[in-house]
Structure 1
Amino acid sequence: MTAARSVRLLALGAALAGAALTAQAQAVLRVTAIPDESPTELARKFEPLGKYLEAKLGMKVEWTPVTDYAAAVETLVNKKVDLAWFGGFTFVQANVRSGGKVIPLVQRAEDEKFRSVFITDAASGITKLDDLKGKTLSFGSASSTSGHLMPRSYLLAAKINPDADLKRVSFSGAHDATIAAVASGKVDAGALNISVWEKFVADKKVDPAVVKVFYTTPGYYDYNWSVHADMPAALREKIAAAFLALESAPGGKEILALQRASRFIPTKADNYNGIKGAAEQAGLLK
């Protein structure tokens, strides 16, 4: 065997080994989500979806919880996970942070016109946004679209500066924690995701006669499932197709109900230009 042929064989062997390692690594789809609810609730909601994706994709699906919104952004930007559930603002952050390499695949039909609600104790005397002046208010996470960015933008549009006109602004970290803060009297009012509020009311975890909604925002684009652009196109297409097929899949209605979705639809980065503009105007996009 000549030296040149030996080198070629070694190179071929290394390439095959590398391909095998890549295939082995991609045999697991690592999934995460912004922690906008408690860890146990997120894991409960994801379990049947994860099993469905395993069956559809023919690969193991692994849930990877993160501690905060920033960690969800960084894990996908740095390709430590393959698929992430983002709010509109966290998607924009990831897209900007990655130089456009984080792309949205699908969103719930509800996310085309998502809304936030402002809530208060029914006995507080707060009936409109202007009544918040001099009061205490809890947002969710600082990086939350529906729990901070968009509620803040609508306050600013109403000529209310949360940092100057309110007595105190705090951040609960999650939508369910915001409800708890208002219900316990820790704050006068809170802003959160409408679907979490409606789920709490439906499950009788909050009494709307005691804690009430006093303002609902106009609609805006919000949540989506995103991937890194370096993911093979064939896998991206399979993931998107799996979500789009949920509506008619066996057990799909139950999975969709857990995701608070009627169905999933395709989405694109341009849908979130309004979120990006709101974040820039509020000085929240770095």
Structure 2
Amino acid sequence: MLKKNWLLITLLFITLLLAACSEGSAGADGKEEADDVIDIVWYPNESGSDMKSSRDEIGKIIEEKTDKKVEHHLTTDYAIAIETLVNNNADLAFMGAQGYVEANQKNDAIQPLAVPTGPSGTLDDAVYHSWLAVNVDDQENYKEDGEYAFDTIEDKKMSFVSNSSTSGFKVPSASIIDHFSSKEVYADLAEEDLMEGGELFSQVLFGNSHQGSAVNLLSGNADVAAFCDTCVENYVEVAEGEENKQGSVYKVKEDAAEPFNKVTGSEFTLISVTPVLNAPFVANKDVIGQEDFDKLQALFTSDEVANNEQIFVPEESGESGLFFKTDKERFSEVEDSWFDPIRELSN
């Protein structure tokens, strides 16, 4: 009798579990049905406590527009964020162009919602910058005939962000391969060869965020590091030169938040600066539904959001933020084809 009771209980539990998993998840056409919660998944770069006010404000305006609850999902890994969206477990994400290209390739229901413009308020200058940096005391070691040269990074300890990062891997890797593949010994150099030591680099590290990659450099774990300007601008300031100029020196602010709080005052030099297409907000249309997609696209690209100082933080305010207002920055609609230059890096 006891065994029969346990069997009945087990079967009942499985039945309830399957019903719960299927409830509200798929419609008659096999697509996900929109529910009363909008889930936003964030990359590690935007998951820090210093970005909480930006995340909360974005969640607030979405709730007001849709009358739905917003839940934020913070991550420590690019792949987790991408797969969460791909597998229909999130409605929205803010991700780099490479992450979007990967997600869209796996699930074509994932489409760009909006992208932040450049200072002109258009897509003409909607770029940020991919950096290769070295510790300031070592900068002369990366020059040939007085100029910074890629040849000098051979056999060094290299830190990237993630192999799904646009500016922290995809773009710098393309530049590195383009340079070294002209040499006979590296004629067959490929992305995979840059993901581990023994081919071009003596050792390869992944910081799992732009902040983590920068700290790999400043803590002495790496000789050269790839990371981007926008992901570290809350923590560093120009010490010598101009913003986003090769040879410029940046210094970690004395009051920098984690993970830079252990390397305050440290300085690094930019040996390479490359413009990169701005990162989009993207949506899984099978999960969020067309109606909410349209509502949010209209909201994001509105003057109301462009003038919201908790989303586009005035640069002179000294406050941390996800986006900054220097002139006419705002969100703009963007077509999938806008990201083709990033797709072509893999061809």
Whether the TM-score (by the shorter chain) exceeds 0.5 is yes
Partner of 2:5: none
Work out which of the residue numbers 153, 159, 184 in structure 1 matches 2:180.
159
Partner of 2:86: 77
**Contact kept in structure 2, 1:33 and 1:85, CA below 8 Å:** yes
**Contact kept in structure 1, 2:132 and 2:273, CA below 8 Å:** yes
1:101 aligns with 2:134: no
Work out which of the residue numbers 260, 275, 286 in structure 1 matches 2:342.
275
Work out which of the residue numbers 174, 180, 183 in structure 1 matches 2:218.
183
**Contact kept in structure 1, 2:45 and 2:231, CA below 8 Å:** no
Cα distance, 1:207 vs structure 2? 7.2
Unpaired runs of 5+ residues, structure 2, are: 1-22, 28-32, 182-188, 238-251, 257-262, 314-320
1:106/1:251 CA distance change after superposition, 3 Å:
closer
Partner of 1:244: 301
Within a 5 Å distance, the mapping from 1:188-227 to structure 2 comes to 188-202=223-237, 204=253, 205=256, 210-217=267-274, 219-227=275-283
1:50 aligns with 2:92: no
Within a 5 Å distance, the mapping from 1:105-184 to structure 2 comes to 105-110=113-118, 112-124=126-138, 125-127=141-143, 128=148, 129-159=150-180, 162=194, 164-184=199-219
- Take 1:250 and 1:89, find their aligned partners in 2: how far apart are those partners? 25
- Take 1:44 and 1:141, find their aligned partners in 2: how far apart are those partners? 25
Cα distance, 1:106 vs structure 2? 0.3
- Take 1:63 and 1:240, find their aligned partners in 2: how far apart are those partners? 19
1:39/1:249 CA distance change after superposition, 3 Å:
closer
Query: Which residue identity does 1:27 align to in structure 2?
Result: D
- Take 1:237 and 1:275, find their aligned partners in 2: how far apart are those partners? 26
- Take 1:173 and 1:44, find their aligned partners in 2: how far apart are those partners? 22
Deviations 1:11-60 (A, max 9, x none): xxxxxxx88x99x9622111112223554345443112211221232221
**Contact kept in structure 2, 1:104 and 1:227, CA below 8 Å:** yes
Identity %: 24
- Take 1:201 and 1:137, find their aligned partners in 2: how far apart are those partners? 21
Question: What's the secondary structure of 1:234's corresponding residue?
Answer: helix
**Contact kept in structure 2, 1:30 and 1:83, CA below 8 Å:** yes
1:118/1:62 CA distance change after superposition, 3 Å:
same
1:25/1:272 CA distance change after superposition, 3 Å:
closer
Query: Which residue identity does 1:221 align to in structure 2?
Result: L
Query: Which residue identity does 2:130 align to in structure 1?
Result: S
**Contact kept in structure 2, 1:108 and 1:264, CA below 8 Å:** yes
Q: CA RMSD in A?
A: 2.8
**Contact kept in structure 2, 1:32 and 1:65, CA below 8 Å:** yes
Would you say how many aligned residue pairs link Structure 1 and Structure 2?
A: 259
Task: State which drifts further: 36-45 or 164-173.
Answer: 36-45
Cα distance, 1:102 vs structure 2? 0.9
Partner of 2:241: none
- Take 1:213 and 1:81, find their aligned partners in 2: how far apart are those partners? 36
Query: Which residue identity does 2:219 align to in structure 1?
Result: S
What is the TM-score when the length of structure 1 is the normalising length? 0.80
Deviations 1:157-190 (A, max 9, x none): 2226546222222111111111111111111110
Question: What's the secondary structure of 2:277's corresponding residue?
Answer: coil
1:263 aligns with 2:330: yes
